[in-house]
Structure 1
Amino acid sequence: MTHPVVSEIPTGPVPVPPAVARLADADTITPVWRNELGGLTFRLDGRESTRYAKWVAAGTPEIDLPAEAERLKWARRWAAVPRVVGHGSDAEGAWLVTAAVPGRSAVDPRWLADGATAAAAIGHGLRVLHDALPVDGCPFDWSVERRLRRADERIADGEGPADRFPEHRDLSLAEARARIGDPPPIDRLVVCHGDACAPNTLLHDGGTFAAHVDLGSLGVADRWADLAVAAWSMEWNFGPGYDGAVYDAYGVAPDQERIAYYRLLWDMA
């Protein structure tokens, strides 16, 4: 059973927040993405350049755009990620503006029709990122311990089995919490993307990896924290049968114990 897509390319009219309208000035504004928390991304096309503006309403603690700006600036020294143009906030929300980078999202219609190419680019791109970013000196953390605190916050807010992916709804709250409280040993510490779902990898027109976007949770963790979710997201966006291509392109054999653990942790946290 596939999980319903919770983030999507908008298909109808999207109100433009006043802050984005001000940032755009005379540029053409095109909505390109809406995430599951209501955050919006707009493409701003001007005569000489294209920018992207991410906007999130005030009171959405799950999305920290200043933190993403900090991570992008750090990671850009070694990896293909967007250049930060500016960020800010007002009473209505916060925004982050980045320069365009070459490439199309792996869930662009072109690549939705070619899941094998998308899967290979996602796996290879993740390996490139993990090999390039230095763990030593990385100021950002995405550890199990940090994510368990977030899981406990969600539990305290009353979230339960009905809020989970179908694969995990048969677990009671106590069973699920016990499982994520017993992580497998670290395989390899890397600087993880933190949201390695298919939409956040860009591909060149030839089908090769181009860049990563949406690095608001970037931080040091076991590589399987990224790998498990990257391969899982292929099923959400492309259907079953492509997860193995992600692992093959990364250059690793599937580790079922770690895959199961990090998928449940993702779901809970």
Structure 2
Amino acid sequence: MTAPVLSEIPVGPVAVPPQVGALAGDDLITPVWRNQLGGLTFRLDPPDTSGAHARFVKWSPTSAGLDLRHEAGRLAWAASWTPVPRVLDSGEDEAGQWLVTAALEASSAVVPRWQARPETAARAIGAGLRALHDALPVAECPFTWSAEERVARAEARFAAGEGPEAWAAEHQHLTAAEARARLADVPDLTGPVVCHGDACAPNTLLAEDGSWAAHVDLGRLGVADPWADLAVATWSTEWNYGPGYDHLVYEAYGVEPDPERIAWYRLLWDLS
């Protein structure tokens, strides 16, 4: 299966947006992530090299159509119950938006250290997702990420003419009509949780001992079916580590795979 091109660790020189440079001051600027829409994330390290006051700046160009204020609000809300980065600053100008957060003493599940230990990373992804779902209170969550809302977004993409050529290889055998018919058959809700919304492997952070430490990139956080997260978290282990590790995510989460919901929520992810 060909992995969807979603985001990557930058390779080669990266142009630093002027606002990021201004925020950095004398700090060392290191590009750490690039998303498909042209958004960039940078690590800022103070000259003393202690790392004690390191920060991350997420920058999104106006052309991306993303609103980082949504993520800032979700981070601030979730921080009362689960480990997430602390928001330090945010803002926008005519070129784009930025979000500044404090660095955590943890590393992404896709840095080389954890790519070399995929079993450890996969278990941490499952354990972390379970901890997140257990900790965040559904009744107090002001955000939603429902299947129905996402199907509506997929319909908008169909209306704009998007077809199988834009989908993951796993779904390219479907016609647009077949895909729409499958999405119209929304599975029953298995029990709402507050979902991460982008539970791909890079957004789980691991501690030094390989245990789950925190989550990042909560811009889509909201109440939904837990399989909306689980289907994508396990799918992303294939993209980042290769096949054969998804069962470790399910085991660490404490659930048996549900093939029908996994397939449906992966299709929804791909098309919405």
TM tier, smaller: over 0.9
Alignment partner, residue 190 of structure 1: 193
Match of 1:29 in 2: 29
| Aligned residue in 1 for 2:12 | 12
Matched residue pairs, number? Answer: 268
The secondary structure found in structure 2 opposite 1:136 is helix
1:208 is matched with which residue: 194, 208, 211?
Answer: 211
| CA offsets 1:118-139 (integer angstroms, 9 cap, x no match) | 0000000000000000000210
Give the secondary structure class of the aligned counterpart of 1:240: coil
Q: Which residue of 2 aligns with 1:39?
A: 39
Tell me the equivalent position of 1:174.
Answer: 177
Provide the rounded CA distance (Å) in 1 between the counterparts of 2:4 and 2:180.
24
Q: How does 1:1-269 map to 2 (within 5 A)?
A: 1-3=1-3, 5-46=5-46, 47=48, 49-61=53-65, 63-269=66-272
Aligned Cα RMSD in Å?
1.0
Deviation at 1:3, TM superposition (A): 1.3
Q: Which moved more, 1:143-152 or 1:185-194?
A: 143-152
Whole-Å separation in 2 of the counterparts to 1:146 and 1:257: 20
Q: TM-score, normalised by structure 1?
A: 0.98
Alpha-carbon separation, structure 2, partners of 1:262 and 1:134: 22
CA drift at 1:154: 1.4
Which structure 1 residue ranges, 5 or more long, are not aligned?
none
Aligned to 2:235, what secondary structure does the other structure show?
helix
Task: Write the distance in 1 (CA, Å) between the matches of 2:129 and 2:67.
Answer: 22
Q: 1:4, 1:130 → 2: CA distance? A: 25
Distance (whole Å) between structure 2 residues aligned to residue 141 and residue 85 of structure 1: 25
In 2, Cα distance between the equivalents of 1:250 and 1:51? 30
User: 2:4 touches 2:167 (CA, 8 Å); kept in 1?
Assistant: no
Question: What amino acid does structure 1 have at the position aligned with 2:206?
Answer: L
Percentage of identical aligned residues = 63
Q: Is the 8 A contact 1:2 1:235 kept in 2?
A: no
1:60 is displaced (CA, Å) by 1.4
Note if contact 2:204-2:215 (Cα within 8 Å) is conserved in structure 1: yes
2: distance between equivalents of 1:232 and 1:19?
35
Per-residue CA deviations over 1:215-245 (Å, capped at 9, x if unaligned) read: 0000000000000000000001110000110
Identify unmatched segments of 5+ residues in structure 2: none
Is the Cα–Cα contact under 8 Å of residues 9 and 32 in structure 1 kept in the other structure? yes
Distance 1:79 1:217 in 2: 16
Runs of 4+ in structure 1 off by over 4 angstroms are none
Deviation digits for residues 232-266 of structure 1 (CA, Å, limit 9, x no counterpart): 00001110000110000000000011001100000
> Counterpart amino acid of 2:6?
V
